[in-house]
Amino acid sequence: MRRLRAPGLAVLAITFVLAAGAVSAAAEPVILAFGDSLTAGLGVAPDEAYPALLQARVRRSGYPHRVVNAGVSGDTTAGALRRVDWVLRSQPEIVIVALGANDGLRGQSPATTRENLEAIVHRFQGSGARVLLAGMRLPPNYGDELAREFAALFPAVAKRTGAPLMPFLLDGVAANPRLNQRDGIHPNAAGHRVIAERLWPHVERLLRARAD
């Protein structure tokens, strides 16, 4: 979740993805993965990051959707809120909001993070998109009280917005050396496979709701 030395490159890459899909947007409804380096796939190949793996699963399951990776390394909820209108150009049908980790690691107020996430979810919902919120947790060295307060903000946002919640994006991955890179924070390719596998049931429920 560290910031890229040249963050504009990540934004430029997303620009190309959104522009390339503009023509086919009507034929291919979009699933937008909106997050930080955990979504961008820092340290792994683009086709190893969980959004690409979700794309493969979506197609294998017979859905026509296109998964757009809108992850930006180093992004906070405040930064992400400022780019919501821009990523809405892809006209997403489903949005996975996986943010807040950098807020917590930088010691930002959980109350502020909650407010930003609520605003992000409401903005996407206001566009007609269905939102899946992915929870985050702090490492234990941040203290039990802060860790509990941080973890609790995600269910609170889900309750206030009505968005379904995946309780923890890194479920089964966090603190497992075999599934993380040397920094102990960013998943390796195997870790991203676990994320995609555990995200899929939540995403599929939203896809089925649309089909019904």
What is the set of active-site residues? Answer: 37, 183, 186
CA distance 11 to 40: 11
Neighbours of 38 (CB within 10 A): 29
**Cα-based distances in Å from 166 to 22, 76, 131, 132, 185:** 29, 19, 11, 7, 19
Query: For the residues of 132-162, what is the DSSP string, one character each?
Result: EEE-----GGG-HHHHHHHHHHHHHHHHHHT
User: What is the rounded distance in angstroms from the CA atom of residue 107 to the CA atom of residue 57?
Assistant: 36
**CA dist., res. 67 & res. 77, Å (int):** 21
Q: Rounded to an integer, what distance in angstroms lies between the CA atom of residue 66 and that of residue 118? A: 25
Cα pseudo-dihedral 118, 119, 120, 126, rounded to 10: 110
Burial (CB count within 10 angstroms: exposed 0-12, middle 13-18, buried 19+), residue 105 = middle
Q: Which of 51, 76, 88 is closest to 192 using CA atoms?
A: 51
